[in-house]
Amino acid sequence: MTLVNQTKMILICDLKKCTGCRICEYVCSFEKEKNFDLTKSRIKVVNRDPTLVGAFTCSLCNNATCVKACPTGALSRLENREIVLDKDKCVRCGWCIYACDMGGIFYDSSNHIPIVCDLCGEQPKCAEICPEEALKYESLDNVIKKQSISNLRKVLG
């Protein structure tokens, strides 16, 4: 396999900026389901307590455990891209949902199928609408770089 220089992209929520407004959930559910049914939003706001809140979705893991767990090969992932579900091959065993530690893939109980973020074709709508610009779809390298600079600033004062 030829080595292609592709940067890993991630959809990340800056916990310092997220206000828990859930507008990402509204937009996602409408974009995917044509209705404001927040239980179907692929991105979910989780708050531990008033001091910590963030929006989480599929982590786009390398060697994704959900893909490995799928017994029929219904789930797949192209390199550096989103998880893809082949509905015809899916037997609704639920193993992908058990396998995911992040809660990124979950069960749609009205359509009886697992659902997961598909990045809206590389232009995630949640990141587009986020009023705080907390949600960003960017390269992992960039995120690491920014975090390193911010850590460095703290150390150097």
Return the number of the residue (10 or 21) whose C-beta is nearest another protein. 21
The distance of closest approach from Cβ of residue 80 to another protein in the complex, given in angstroms and rounded to an integer, is 29
The distance of closest approach from Cβ of residue 22 to another protein in the complex, given in angstroms and rounded to an integer, is 4
The distance of closest approach from Cβ of residue 98 to another protein in the complex, given in angstroms and rounded to an integer, is 18
Which amino acid, residue 98? Y
Return the number of the residue (21 or 97) whose C-beta is nearest another protein. 21
- Are 128 and 136 a contacting pair, CB within 8 Å? no
CA 73 to CA 66: how far, in whole Å?
A: 10
For another protein, the binding residues (CB under 8 A) are: 16, 19-23, 26-27, 30, 34-39, 49-51, 53, 129, 131-132
Return the number of the residue (10 or 38) whose C-beta is nearest another protein. 38
The distance of closest approach from Cβ of residue 8 to another protein in the complex, given in angstroms and rounded to an integer, is 28
CA 119 to CA 60: how far, in whole Å?
A: 10
148 contacts: CB under 8 Å, gap ≥ 6:
none
Return the number of the residue (118 or 132) whose C-beta is nearest another protein. 132
What's the Cα-to-Cα distance from 152 to each of 13, 147, 148, 149, rounded to whole Å? 21, 8, 6, 5
Q: Report the C-alpha dihedral over residues 69, 7, 55, 71, rounded to 10 degrees.
A: -10
